[in-house]
Structure 1
Amino acid sequence: MRKIFFLSVIISAVGLSAFIIRKGGDEPVPIPPSQQRIGNAAKGYEYLINGDYVRSGIPYNVYLFGAGADSNNFLKRTGLNAKVSHEFTAVKAANGETVVAPNCMNCHAQVFEGKLVMGLGNSLVDFTKSKKFNQANIELLEKLLQLQSPRQYQASYEFIRASKAITQYLYAPVKGVNVADKLAYSLVAHRDPLSFTWSDKASLNISAELIPTDTPPWWLLKKKNAMFYNGFGRGDFGRFLMASNLLTVNDTSESAQVDAHMPDVLAYIYSLEAPKYPKPINQTLAAKGKVLFEERCSGCHGTYGDKGAYPNYLIPATLIGTDSALYKANYSEPQFIDWFNNSANIGSFIK
């Protein structure tokens, strides 16, 4: 079985023997580590919360009119961003207009017990059709800006253009699930892998079917030799972290400016640790659960604690036997894989 059809699951040597004897399938494949660029965690945090890695969005005044000023300011930001939700950032567009653009905290931070937990996968995110930001409202915004504020329309153009093309594919059936896989597929379908030039006509066949996912916590990344569950995302992790830039990027010179900050962003992500659960825990049940986890689960999911291990294996789907619909929905498309492998600006899925 080819490597790209393996699911990325971490499994221990003890667990492997049981799987192989029972299933008689392919051998697991180790994922080797890759050299990562060194960065500054403090600078990475600053760029995450205030940086212009997405440089087009909704005009600042339009955002405040629709969403209202944020009263929480979980990130303790100053200036224009003090009034903007942690999920967005006020940035300067190329023509000098201020726009509000989505940032990484849309998916990679969540409010829990009244506090923002950076790096926690957002299980409260809403990609359903009922949310305010949908296809109809995007088209309405475009018409209003064209008529009333040409400069603001120019500043919002890249964001509106991409949103009109891909939003139809990003509706989730329920709240709390993530559409990042389909977002990535839809964006690369409209981008040249070498120049990042946008094309209104998709170069890949975009299926209407969407199979959502959960967003893994950032603090797990430091253990991994590949970013994604199926072994994709090897090599320079920073190149994959900047993929959100594909939403509005104009050319590779802009992407190079964003990429220069990615070692710092990765350093910040590596600095994160799982927060301690703040509520009471039934220690009797926890002790029983620990035994069950180590006996039944650690073979695939590794171990925790001071001596925790994460062996980084690719396990063939024939050994796992779980539903392959998620993987087949996006990652079995050869053109999608080739796009990343052929892009010198993002990085290889398979090395």
Structure 2
Amino acid sequence: MHKATIFSVLLFGLLALAAGMMNKAVPEPVPIPASPQRFGDAQKGYEYLVTGDYVKSGIPHGVFGLAPKEPIYLQREGRNKKLPHGFTAITALNGEPLVAPNCLQCHAQPFEGQLIMGLGNTFIDFTSGQQLGAKSIGLLEKVLKTTSPKSYEAAEPFLTVTKTLAPNLQADVRGVNLAGRLTYLLLSHRDPTTLKWSNEPRVPVPNDVVVPTDTPPWWLLKKKNAMFYNGFGRGDFGRFLMASNLLTVSDTSEAAGVDKHMPDVLSYLHSLEPPKYPKEIDQQLAAMGKPIFDKKCGTCHGSYGDNEKYPNLLIPQAIIGTDSFLFKSNYSAPQFIEWFNNSWFTTGDHPARLEPFAGYIAPPLDGIWITAPYLHNGSVPTLEALLNSKLRPKYWSRNFDKPEYDYEGLGWKHEAHDAPKNKAYNTTLPGYGNYGHTFGDKLTNAERKAVLEYLKTI
């Protein structure tokens, strides 16, 4: 072939390749359509959350009384009066008094002496030795079988589940939630049609990576058309809200009884509002930050104030760039999707379903000032660092015993470390990455300061 011809062919090929690259489809945000929801009585929903027996088994009341004392925030009566907010007194079918965990374990958090209902609990501890382990449960079973057979009979469903799941439910740092992992483990041991428990898993459980999440606040739910960080919870929200019942549910008839309360619970969640920022706000600076936010952030996260609007957008991984382990694992695994979408939860006149997505939902930001730490895995301690990725520490820790809020950076006061440290947040671990969402890097320091001041107002 003539040299000129060869050159022409190569040039044509390069031009064609360049044109193909230029015309390659750029991923775009995906709108989430709304689904019909059931609503009821908000007050009844609150009462069911804090006194209901949606978890039907637990620890014998006398045994629980030996636990360390915690502050009492809820004004409850009877056997609930002296229990911390994350537990509820119930009565087993055989009449035995038990104490069961409730939804506030994850969905309420104290802040400067006040319990904030619906705020994700970032003090929760899933690290080794902090949760009921298989060894301690086994010891408790032996004691109860000998000293109180009726108590054992009542507590057996809870003890069995806890003993089975504990070895596979451990986080590397305190403050992150393993709800996704817990749900996966629970469903792997249950029949999708009957919900009956099996000591051996019915669905393979990956043991390589346990992916953490930060718990989003309940008050955002009223604006959202889908649940969970990757927006794959579609259809009836009530079916997802009753997930804690899976700890001890005996069959679908029991699940159906709990499901009847979910319209009331959803109504209560919709009644929640975020707490107002408690310090003085520079209103002039905040006013300067609003148009910057609306232009740079509002397209995905919505507008606030008069004529509020939230677009309900799923943001592809290629755009958001944050740690991808969550949407690739946990209960996004194909075997979990198949289990759920062929289960009792998809039946009846208000079914739910899962629709996986390679990315994350851009959440509403109501009350964002109090929801630290940030990103879906809680890897960024302050809003200031969220808007300036250069400030994000690779290794950091905070005081869980005496937590202090950082009113300057908007988040938790923390200590950065030069190297990994025991129980410090390590952003180099799989699923714990603090990268991505670098849109704030394009702002000037003055613009970021104005946006931060504006975020105190929403």
Number of residue equivalences: 329
Equivalent position of 1:86 in the other structure? 85
* Structure 2 CA distance for aligned equivalents of residues 174 and 79 of structure 1: 36
Residue pairs, 1:57-72, within 5 angstroms: 57-68=58-69, 70=70, 72=71
Q: Secondary structure at the residue paired with 2:162?
A: helix
Alignment of 1:1-351 (within 5 A): 24-68=25-69, 70=70, 72-131=71-130, 133-208=132-207, 209-283=209-283, 286-287=286-287, 289-345=289-345, 347-350=352-355
Letter in 2 for 1:262: M
Residue 281 of structure 1 and its aligned partner are, at CA, apart by 3.8
Listed one character per residue, the Cα deviations across residues 48-96 of structure 1 (whole Å, up to 9, x for unaligned) are 000000010000010011234x5x4311000000111100001011211
Alpha-carbon distance between aligned partners in 2 of 1:335 and 1:88, rounded to the nearest angstrom = 32
**Who is 2:349 aligned against?**
none
Q: What whole-Å deviation, never above 9, does each CA across 1:196-251 have from its counterpart, x for those lacking one?
A: 01111112222232111110000100001101221211111111100110000001
Report the residue type matching 2:128 in the other structure: K
Given the superposition, is the C-alpha separation of residues 135 and 330 from structure 1 closer, same or farther in structure 2, using an over 3 Å criterion? same
User: CA 1:158 to 1:302, structure 2 compared with 1: closer, same or farther past 3 Å?
Assistant: same
The residue type paired with residue 198 of structure 2 is S
Q: CA deviation at 1:259?
A: 0.6
Structure 2 unpaired stretches of 5+: 1-21, 347-351, 357-458
Matched AA of 2:141: E
Q: Cα distance 1:147–1:236, how it changes in 2: closer, same or farther (>3 A)?
A: same
Q: How far is the alpha carbon of 1:287 from its aligned partner?
A: 4.8
Q: TM-score if structure 1 supplies the norm length?
A: 0.88
How far apart, CA to CA, are the structure 2 residues paired with 1:23 and 1:279? Answer: 49
Residues 292, 147 of structure 1: alpha-carbon distance in 2 compared, 3 angstrom cutoff: farther
Letter in 2 for 1:245: N
| Cα distance between partner residues in 1 of 2:173 and 2:289 | 30
C-alpha distance in 1 between matches for 2:44 and 2:58:
23
Please, which runs of 5 or more residues in structure 1 have no aligned partner? Answer: 1-20
Q: Deviations over 1:182-207 (max 9, x none)?
A: 01111110011110011111122222
Shift of 1:134: 2.7
SS of alignment partner, residue 345 of structure 1: helix
| Partner residue, 1:7 | none
> Retained in 1: the 8 A contact 2:210–2:330?
no
Name the stretch that deviates more: 237-246 or 331-340. 331-340
Q: Is the 8 A contact 2:28 2:316 kept in 1?
A: yes
Q: Equivalent residue of 1:245, what SS?
A: helix
Equivalent AA in structure 2 for residue 61 of structure 1: G
Contact 2:48 2:261 in 1 (8 A): yes
TM-score by length of 2: 0.68
Task: Name the CA distance, whole Å, in 2 between partners of 1:322 and 1:188.
Answer: 27
**1:233–1:350 CA contact under 8 A, matched in 2:** yes
Q: 1:32 Cα shift?
A: 1.2
- Distance in 1, matches of 2:115 and 2:24, equals 44
Amino acid at match of 1:216: P
8 Å Cα contact 2:36-2:235 kept in structure 1: yes
Q: Percent identity, aligned pairs only?
A: 57
Alpha-carbon deviations, 1:266-290, whole Å to 9, x = none?
0000011111122334556645654
Q: Distance in 1 between matches of 2:226 and 2:79?
A: 37
- Radius of gyration: which is bigger? 2
